[in-house]
Structure 1
Amino acid sequence: MAASGAVVGGGGRGGRLGYLSLALGVSLLKCLLIPAYYSTDFEVHRNWLAITHSLPVSQWYYEATSEWTLDYPPFFAWFEYALSHIAKVFDPEMLNIQNLNYASPKTVLFQRFSVIFTDVLFIYAVYECCKCIEGKKAGKELTEKPAFILSILLLWNFGLLIVDHIHFQYNGFLFGLMLLSIARLFQKRHLEGALLFAILLHFKHIYLYVAPAYGIYLLRSYCFTANKPDGSVRWSSFSFLRLIALSFIVCFVSALSLGPFIALNQLPQIISRLFPFKRGLCHAYWAPNFWALYNALDKMLSIIGIDDKWFGSAIPTCSPALCDSISNPHLYCDSHVGPRGFLRCLIVCALSSFMFGWHVHEKAILLVILPMSLLSVGKPQDAAIYLLLTTTGHYSLFPLLFTAPEFPIKVLLMLLFTVYSFSSLKTLFRKEKLLNWMETIYLIGLGPLEICCELVFPFTPWKLKYPFIPLFLTSVYCAAGITYAWFRLSISLLPGPAVGKAKLQ
């Protein structure tokens, strides 16, 4: 691994100060966003504060005064419980279960600052990931430049800024746990990486998407102590003691999280809250994935009169079991190529689950974009896929911020982040052409799409009769780009020559 001092902006203390300056700058920006619009997720988390503070543990997963019931794993419930003891100092009324949609100024300040403060873990995790960057040569410039770019791509990520600090969620510290676990695996601290990921799963179960990559990589790289020259495992080197150590970590964390609820015979109730399959295949706002294209095709076929009398639609519907089978990419997880291969498999797991999963939310694209940032500074092919994913995926989040005051904010922030992403990666791979003409035209097309959806459509007579058209166009257009990126990323798993200026060890 590269020397710890050579991280961002210079070696040793200067590098750390430069990194802290970047972190402080984005934290100040988050403070400026405090008065911005917030979504129903703000009330969701206020309600969870009230539930965990006011009720005994035995009632947490049964309480249903609000429609926003507790549906995250137990560690997140305990996280809300811990926050609630600080919240009561700000405004005890926010902890009253009956105070639905309560949002006093002190409540807003507390909830906003709680997200900003817990992002400290994300800041530390990004720092650790930057330490895993090394240059092709020993020169300072090659070592520091990719790490500096990576730090900005992660710390100033547009999607994370608007989802957490405008829309309102706590993704920052959760992604901090994931990035820190990835960094520990790159540093060959396998047990620590496994522990962090196990804890993460019991904070938010969406990270089950990438569990296959973790499981197979840990078995291959940690439980097998030697590999053959072709990368395959030596069965004689399998260590049962190491397998027991990994199993103990998983069982211990699971027992700590679920144990109290198993003792209360509430495990089925928790599972029903965590996996509400009755919600339907697609979220109200279609995530830009395969099902958006599938549904669009169904609508078009229905319009021209093609309607299947057995299925009630032009094309067959899908079940949760089928979604799980086609989105579970175990075959991708051949991670004998080392930590970088593990990271690539993790990203494909996340993107495949986003593409084909049941009731996927549009915000889940961040589970792909953030780890993809680590690959983007290593190879030009990965940088190209990253630019496609991050531009299209971030634009697909625009409908989350639909109020007029946030329009210039989201446009300006995305433009700044996108321009930096393109310019910095183009500078890093100056001898490579990152995007072809077709990809370039597709991304340019996001501009006219935004003008039509935000500036033209509201003044047309179709607004009242067809209010869903902007969401429909955004989901389908972005789904085409993300599907294309998924194909390119899947193909990148095939063996090929390593190319690039920087790599993750």
Structure 2
Amino acid sequence: MKGIMQIILISLFAILLRWCVTYHSYSGQGKPPMFGDYEAQRHWQEITLNLPIDKWYTNTTDNDLQYWGLDYPPLSAYHSLLLGYIANNINSSYVKLHESRGISSEDHKYFMRLTVLCADILVYIPSIIYFMFSSQTSKANEKEISNLFGFNRKHISLLIMLIYPGLILIDHGHFQYNCVSLGLFISTVAAMLQNSYIIGSFLFVVALNYKQMELYHALPIFFYILGKYSPLKKASWLFNLKMLLCISVTVVSTFAIVWLPFFKNLEIFTNVVSRLFPFGRGLFEDKVANVWCTINVFYKIRNAFTNIQLAKICLIATMFEVLPSCINLYLNPQKEKFITSLINCALAFFLFSFQVHEKSILLVAIPVLLYFKTDPFSCFWFLIISHFSMLPLFLKDDLFTPYCATLTFYVCFIFWMCPDVFNNIKLPGNGNSTHDVRVTANQRQTKIKVKSNKKKSFFAKIKRYISCYYKKASNVILSYNLNLWIVVLFYSSILGIIILSIVSRFLKPPNRYPDLFVLLVSVYSCGHFIIFYIYFNYKQFCTPGNIL
């Protein structure tokens, strides 16, 4: 009963934090003629409510696709239709065809904000709780952290995941419904870690049909299932084949049910697909913290190649970066490798794929949150950078104050509730912490003691003891120096974030380079993401077994 009350208190606090953010500006507030993502979501409610389903993705006089045309999969459209019915019953002016464009009344703002909050409460928060309390953790590890609130490690991890500022500001500040697809993705991972692959496959197809950007996670899920039930395993090939068949039927039937209204004719189907993958928009729109935007600073890649050529380059580069992680996962489908592969593939898509948005970093940040309890320091650092990388978007939406407040609160909270975060730095070589290095040295010493009990000279025993303590001291000093350098780099990185945040907000860029500060934020973040990409790939390939 006490544990349930703590979960309720944590959830209420997370909801309160989200509600506080809703009192700030949103995307496109008071900025005609397009009015930003807030108006896009409202307009989709208007279109889906007032037009027949076969006209939702088709350009007509009543559905001008140049004005926030639907470009998300059918489940997003069905969600918009449901919200449109509710809005129409509350106040028909919210979704009146053509006449409701740019509506910005206070009561409508409360309605829209409440729809996101309800989606968060119904999907994202339960998914996080499901993941946290379905994962296996030893009782000793649960009691490792104790504090005046009586929270154990799982409760603290739950709160860390629920108050990640990046998602809160994008959904409840900027205004979107990422919490739905990301919540379904988290439930997918939780189900698969419990070996419920059919349920997990169903949940992922639902997530993918809500937002096509879930393709970032598709390959690791595919290869993890294929590795678990490979028909090439002679011992259980028949059972594996049956499981793969059941999973395939689940995936295909779920897709068919969701897309059924759009199978009337080929034109309607192709209209939907062309809206979901708009290659005509170009390599990137705004400045994004990925490789192509960084290269474009020094070499105008968008001017040197056509859109088709750039799409092919991005496809080859992305596949080249994700395949090693996927093949490793297929050959050794273990739980921790599954999580790190989700991180690595999502980060590769963000860094190298075509038409990336700033908000797409959330697709990397969520798997990093799921990995937090395994590698707190590295994940903590990444989450800070991911939030910072969206600073240009927050500045555009006049969300600088909540950006600073939520990030500062998040950092202070983790330092307060996880004071040992720097003690959990993973060392290269064997992935062990400083404590583990000392344990290894002690184990070596014990082995040497056993060997030295044999009949040997007194001087040989002394020599062995000296050698043992020398190795032990060297390991401890090496680990200490390495930890020290990593901590210095961490604080230097944070200092760079502080400087660039202040400069971007309060200084005017030179007239010759109006996007200077935006580019600095993008390049600075991209440099970090490349290093994290290398690090998490190293973690995947050097992970010996399951510890989740």
Q: Shorter chain as normaliser: what TM range?
A: 0.7 to 0.9
Structure 1 equivalent of residue 349 of structure 2: 353
Q: Using the alignment, how far apart are the partners of 1:473 and 1:352 within structure 2? A: 21
Q: Using the alignment, how far apart are the partners of 1:482 and 1:413 within structure 2? A: 21
Task: Say which of 310, 314, 319 aligns to 1:323.
Answer: 314
How much does 1:136 deviate? 4.8
Structure 1 equivalent of residue 256 of structure 2: 255
Verify the 8 A CA contact 2:135 2:190 in the aligned structure 1.
Answer: no
Aligned length in residues? 465
Verify the 8 A CA contact 2:395 2:505 in the aligned structure 1.
Answer: no
Structure 1 equivalent of residue 449 of structure 2: none
Q: Using the alignment, how far apart are the partners of 2:19 and 2:413 within structure 1? A: 22
- 271-280 or 400-409, which deviates more: 400-409
Deviation digits for residues 118-169 of structure 1 (CA, Å, limit 9, x no counterpart) = 1121111111111134445546403873312321221101001100001000
Verify the 8 A CA contact 1:158 1:414 in the aligned structure 2.
Answer: yes
How much does 1:235 deviate? 6.7
Give the secondary structure class of the aligned counterpart of 2:258. Answer: helix
Task: Say which of 3, 9, 17 aligns to 1:29.
Answer: 17
Opposite residue 443 of structure 1, the aligned amino acid is I
Opposite residue 250 of structure 2, the aligned amino acid is I
Instruction: Label 1:241 to 1:280 Cα distance change in 2 as closer, same or farther (>3 A).
Output: same
Structure 1 equivalent of residue 494 of structure 2: 443
Structure 2 equivalent of residue 125 of structure 1: 127
Task: Say which of 183, 186, 189 aligns to 1:179.
Answer: 186
Give the secondary structure class of the aligned counterpart of 1:282. Answer: coil
How much does 1:407 deviate? 2.5
Tell me if 1:495 matches 2:506. no
Tell me if 1:188 matches 2:195. yes
Opposite residue 259 of structure 2, the aligned amino acid is L
Verify the 8 A CA contact 1:123 1:155 in the aligned structure 2.
Answer: yes
Instruction: Label 1:420 to 1:222 Cα distance change in 2 as closer, same or farther (>3 A).
Output: farther
How much does 1:210 deviate? 1.2
Q: Using the alignment, how far apart are the partners of 1:400 and 1:489 within structure 2? A: 27
1:351-500 equivalences in 2 (<5 Å): 351-378=347-374, 382-402=375-395, 406-427=399-420, 430=423, 432=425, 433=483, 435-455=486-506, 457-458=507-508, 462=510, 464-496=511-543
Q: Percent identity?
A: 26
Q: Using the alignment, how far apart are the partners of 1:423 and 1:277 within structure 2? A: 46
Deviation digits for residues 156-199 of structure 1 (CA, Å, limit 9, x no counterpart) = 01001100001000011221101011111111111111110011
Structure 1 equivalent of residue 211 of structure 2: 204
Q: Using the alignment, how far apart are the partners of 1:340 and 1:363 within structure 2? A: 26
How much does 1:111 deviate? 0.9
For the pair shown, which has the larger CA radius of gyration, 1 or 2? Answer: 2
1:135-284 equivalences in 2 (<5 Å): 135-136=137-138, 138=140, 140-142=142-144, 145-222=152-229, 236=237, 239-265=240-266, 266-284=268-286
TM-score, normalisation: structure 1: 0.85
Instruction: Label 1:154 to 1:453 Cα distance change in 2 as closer, same or farther (>3 A).
Output: same
Mind listing any 5+ residue stretches in structure 2 that lack a counterpart? 28-35, 146-150, 426-482
Q: Using the alignment, how far apart are the partners of 2:224 and 2:424 within structure 1? A: 33
Deviation digits for residues 318-359 of structure 1 (CA, Å, limit 9, x no counterpart) = 511221222131331232242221111111111100010111
Q: Using the alignment, how far apart are the partners of 2:125 and 2:405 within structure 1? A: 23
Q: Using the alignment, how far apart are the partners of 1:428 and 1:392 within structure 2? A: 17
Deviation digits for residues 17-61 of structure 1 (CA, Å, limit 9, x no counterpart) = 111111111212322333321111100001100010000001000
Structure 2 equivalent of residue 295 of structure 1: 296
Deviation digits for residues 263-290 of structure 1 (CA, Å, limit 9, x no counterpart) = 2331111111000011111122x21011
Cα RMSD for the two superposed structures: 2.7
Q: Using the alignment, how far apart are the partners of 1:89 and 1:395 within structure 2? A: 40
Give the secondary structure class of the aligned counterpart of 1:389. Answer: helix
Verify the 8 A CA contact 2:415 2:421 in the aligned structure 1.
Answer: no
Verify the 8 A CA contact 1:135 1:142 in the aligned structure 2.
Answer: no
Q: Using the alignment, how far apart are the partners of 1:30 and 1:312 within structure 2? A: 42
Instruction: Label 1:414 to 1:318 Cα distance change in 2 as closer, same or farther (>3 A).
Output: farther
Q: Using the alignment, how far apart are the partners of 1:125 and 1:326 within structure 2? A: 33
Opposite residue 82 of structure 1, the aligned amino acid is L
Query: Hey, which of these two has a bigger chunk of helix by percent?
Result: 2
